[in-house]
Structure 1
Amino acid sequence: MSAQPWPVKLTFRAGAQELFAVFDDGQSGRVDYRTLRLESPSAEVQGHGSGPKPPPPVVPEDIRVTKAEPIGRYALRLHFSDGHSSGLYTWNILRALTIND
């Protein structure tokens, strides 16, 4: 079993409205802020338990990440310009969203 990829660089590019990530295994990629918001791992977006997933949130085209705070050594809490901040983006989630193999 291989070790979980670890982010070595996370760059929030406000002008491009995207997050660029580099991982310790050499992989890198980007994801736009709108996709990050639409794919938030929060219960508000993903639903609760095994129930049906709620309808996607209405997200403005010009959504911004206003703050990113580390949660321990395993995740980030992203704060968006529409007030959403309840999702915890683990390194695996960020890798899946930024790396398009």
Structure 2
Amino acid sequence: MGQRIPDEIRLSDAGAVLHLIYGPGEAYALPAEYLRVLTPSAEARGHGGQGGQTVSGKAGVRIAGVEPVGNYALKLIFDDGHATGLYTWDYLRELSLDQEAHWRAYLEDLAAQGLSR
């Protein structure tokens, strides 16, 4: 099964939500905060999977821009200046399908480290 590219990509609520529509009956609404804190950049993931840190304090962040990167990813530009994560189609699909589990794990990480949204 190859990568799935959304038929439509749009922002709503002044950049607070990114919508990915794959076809009739298959649409996902991803909050900007969720996408920002789960950035695929080295900030959160570290280099080579080591040294990443939990991103906190992003409850009010918005997506200021969306740029395609070739045929494989989106570059999301956030209003806090972050623009280095490339969200591949596969990663966006994973974030869409497993949103509840990813968010719960993020909130648990925040609590364990004494950080806030």
**Fold shared per TM-score above 0.5:** yes
Aligned-CA RMSD value: 2.1
- Normalising to structure 2: TM-score of the pair? 0.73
Offset at 1:89? Answer: 0.5
Q: Match for residue 107 of structure 2?
A: none
Aligned structure 1 segments of 4 or more residues deviating by more than 3 angstroms: none
Bigger proportion of residues as helix: 2
Structure 2 spans left out of the alignment, 5+ residues: 100-117
1:62 aligns with 2:56: no
1:12 aligns with 2:14: no
- Normalising to structure 1: TM-score of the pair? 0.84
The secondary structure found in structure 2 opposite 1:7 is coil
Q: Quote the Cα distance in structure 2 between the aligned partners of 1:36 and 1:49.
A: 20
Structure number with greater CO (CA < 8 Å, separation at least 6) is 1
Structure 1 spans left out of the alignment, 5+ residues: none
Percent identical among aligned pairs is: 33
Amino acid at match of 1:33: A
Aligned length: 99
- Say if 1:77 and 1:16 are closer, same or farther in 2 by CA, change over 3 A: closer
Q: Quote the Cα distance in structure 1 between the aligned partners of 2:29 and 2:5.
A: 15
